[in-house]
Amino acid sequence: MKTVEEIKAAIEAAVPGAGVEVVHNPGPSGQHSLRLDPSHAVEVAKFLRSDAELAFDFLSNVTGVDWPDREVTEKVRVTRPVTRTVDGVEQTVEETVEETRKHVERGCLEVVFHLFSIEKKHGPLVLRMRTVNRTDQVELPSLTPVWRSAEFQEREIFDLYGVVFKGHPDLRRILMWEGFKDHPMRRDYVEPDDFDYEPTAHDEVLARAKAHQAALQAAAVGHEGTGAD
């Protein structure tokens, strides 16, 4: 199989302005991937499937990743004027100092696709796409029209992470019920404390269930004390 750099070059030749980026994996596997510009992703996917040499005719797996906002600390060198007294004479000189600055890197949701070629017997090729953020701009194009095996897996990512796949033929929850709030695989997801309690060895679950029941009982007593119907 071609390297990801070679595949990137082939994509750019076939799809002008595709905006493909190589994502290097520093781990022992060295399984590098390609990050796609969502606006060209479907066109790129069609090329990868139909190209005679690549022929990625099978999508085996689709998964999601949640990247929350994170604070980034970096050191920068800054040159600024400084007034100093030398031999009784004030002088303004430039001095380079190192400053620590912090900024918040906006989070996003990422979808990862693994492609194989049954015809050519090669793979995997790993593709990635990222949303603009993880709040109100969470749309990505569906690749189900290109590889039908993406259908249920994109539904799972929609259900558990909240990615909205535009062009999906039947986008709805697949594990959680309709009307369920939030997305359980997000890193800031908070488990409810009002689930049906069953014996468990997890002390935190037991404590949360007991606290919820105590709050319900206190609310009921307060309601009766007000004489409300």
pLDDT at 116: 98
* pLDDT higher than threshold 80 for residue 176: yes
Of 188, 190, 156, 162, the C-alpha closest to 68 is: 188
Q: Residue 124: its pLDDT value, please? A: 96
Kindly report, residue by residue over 24-46, the tens digit of the pLDDT. Answer: 999 888 899 999 999 999 999 99
| β-pairing verdict for 21-23 and 33-35 | antiparallel
Residues 6+ positions from 124 with CB-CB distance below 8 Å:
31, 60, 114, 115, 116
pLDDT above 80 for 225: no
Residue 104 pLDDT greater than 70, yes or no:
yes
Mean pLDDT value across residues 132-140? 96
Under the banding of pLDDT at 50, 70 and 90, the label for residue 14 is very high
- At 102 the pLDDT is 87
What's the pLDDT at 217?
Answer: 87
| Helices within 37-115 (DSSP H only) | 41-50
Query: In which band, very low, low, confident or very high, does the pLDDT at 197 lie, cut at 50, 70 and 90?
Result: low
Per-residue pLDDT tens digits for 46-94: 999 999 999 999 999 999 999 999 888 888 888 888 887 777 778 887 8
| Stated pTM of the model | 0.78
Q: Which has more pLDDT, 23 or 204?
A: 23
Amino acid 73: pLDDT: 87
